[in-house]
Amino acid sequence: MELHLNGARAIVTGGSRGIGLAVARGLVAEGARVALTARDEQRLEVAAESIRDGEADVLAIPADTTDDTSVRAMVDKVQAAWGGVDVLVNAAAQPSFAAAPPALADLTDDAVLTDFDTKVMGYLRCARAVAPHMIAQGGGRIVNISGLNTRRTGSISGTVRNVAVAALTANLADELGPHGVGVTVVHPGMVDTERTPKLVADRAASTGLTEEEVRAGLGATTSLRRLVTAAEVADVIVFLCSPRAVGVTGDAVGVGGGNRGAVHY
């Protein structure tokens, strides 16, 4: 299927690794121009170089999505370079599965506020900065990466921030839809990324299980009985970035390999 992304101008936040980098790689493969943004300038440039592949037009623009001035400066640079923005993928956030969630008694205000500021407010800042450009050109696509914590308990901060991202998405879709801008949210579960080997090793060390047993246990939570990869999640996101996905807006798409035991309608 031709996705009509050749020449599209895309911004991917959190683009230096994980799902963000996989999405950027997928967009480049479809012929899009991609601006990667993240806070770590050195890691960002390494990531950008890894997907340039000679001819690809890839920008590496350091930015902090917790800082509105930084976000607007980043978008201005993309606008100056390419004359517009067609796609925004919001992926800049701390991973939910980096560590076991704290109990209520140990959950601090600062931790929750930082989580919320980075993900929910960060996504809002980026959408707010690109929306005028998309409206002026008559269309665009925004995809927010949230997570299946939206649909399960176990992490207070993780669930609250992800539900908030879904609510943000629906509101943006309603406001921007008449201007031709589609907004969707994708809910990955635990994803097999470059972070996974350390997570598996740490859990094996703390539980006495083998790494193979830990991986099997993580995979058992999905309908596929394995973790999906960042590239598999990116395939869905790249489609949602395309004009082919115009009929999908305001809604959530689960990409976790199947959320066992849950029914959503």
* pLDDT tens-digit readout, 42-56: 999 999 999 987 778
Q: Alpha-carbon distance 239 to 154, whole Å?
A: 30
> Highest-confidence range of 138-142, 225-229, 259-263, by mean pLDDT?
138-142
Name the pLDDT band for 193 (thresholds 50, 70, 90): confident
Q: Are residues 42 and 149 in the same domain?
A: yes
Q: Are residues 213 and 163 in the same domain?
A: no
Q: Are residues 54 and 132 in the same domain?
A: yes
Q: Are residues 195 and 114 in the same domain?
A: no
Tell whether 261 is covered by a domain.
no
214 or 232: which leads in pLDDT: 232
The answer to which of 84-93, 178-187, 209-218 has the lowest mean pLDDT is 209-218
Tell whether 102 is covered by a domain.
yes
> Highest-confidence range of 36-40, 187-191, 196-200, by mean pLDDT?
36-40
Spatial neighbors of 167 by CB under 8 A, at least 6 apart, are: none
Q: Are residues 196 and 98 in the same domain?
A: no
Q: Are residues 78 and 139 in the same domain?
A: yes
- Classify strands 87-90 and 191-192 as parallel, antiparallel or unpaired: unpaired
pLDDT (tens digit per residue) in 118-133: 999 999 999 999 999 9
Show the domain range for 163.
9-190+230-254
Q: Are residues 55 and 178 in the same domain?
A: yes
CA-to-CA dists, residue 204 to 191, 212, 213, 219, angstroms: 18, 9, 8, 15
pLDDT of residue 197: 86
Is pLDDT at 94 greater than 90 in this prediction? no
Q: Are residues 86 and 185 in the same domain?
A: yes
CATH code at position 127:
3.40.50.720
Tell whether 260 is covered by a domain.
no
Q: Are residues 106 and 137 in the same domain?
A: yes
pLDDT of residue 194: 84
> Highest-confidence range of 50-64, 121-135, 148-162, by mean pLDDT?
121-135
What tokens appear for 146 in the block?
Answer: 């949230």
Averaged confidence pLDDT in the chain: 93
The answer to which of 30-34, 91-95, 109-113 has the lowest mean pLDDT is 91-95
Q: Are residues 234 and 163 in the same domain?
A: yes
Is pLDDT at 33 greater than 70 in this prediction? yes
Q: How many domains does the chain have?
A: 2
pTM for this prediction: 0.94
Question: 211, 200 in Cβ contact below 8 A?
Answer: yes
Q: Alpha-carbon distance 238 to 19, whole Å?
A: 11
Q: Are residues 171 and 53 in the same domain?
A: yes
The answer to which of 6-15, 76-85, 195-204, 237-246 has the lowest mean pLDDT is 195-204
**Which among 135, 143, 129 is positioned nearest to 175, based on CA atoms?**
135
Measure the CA dihedral 196/200/202/204, to 10°: 180
Task: Over range 142-148, report the average pLDDT.
Answer: 95
Q: Are residues 197 and 178 in the same domain?
A: no
pLDDT of residue 99: 62
Name the pLDDT band for 149 (thresholds 50, 70, 90): confident
Name the pLDDT band for 195 (thresholds 50, 70, 90): confident
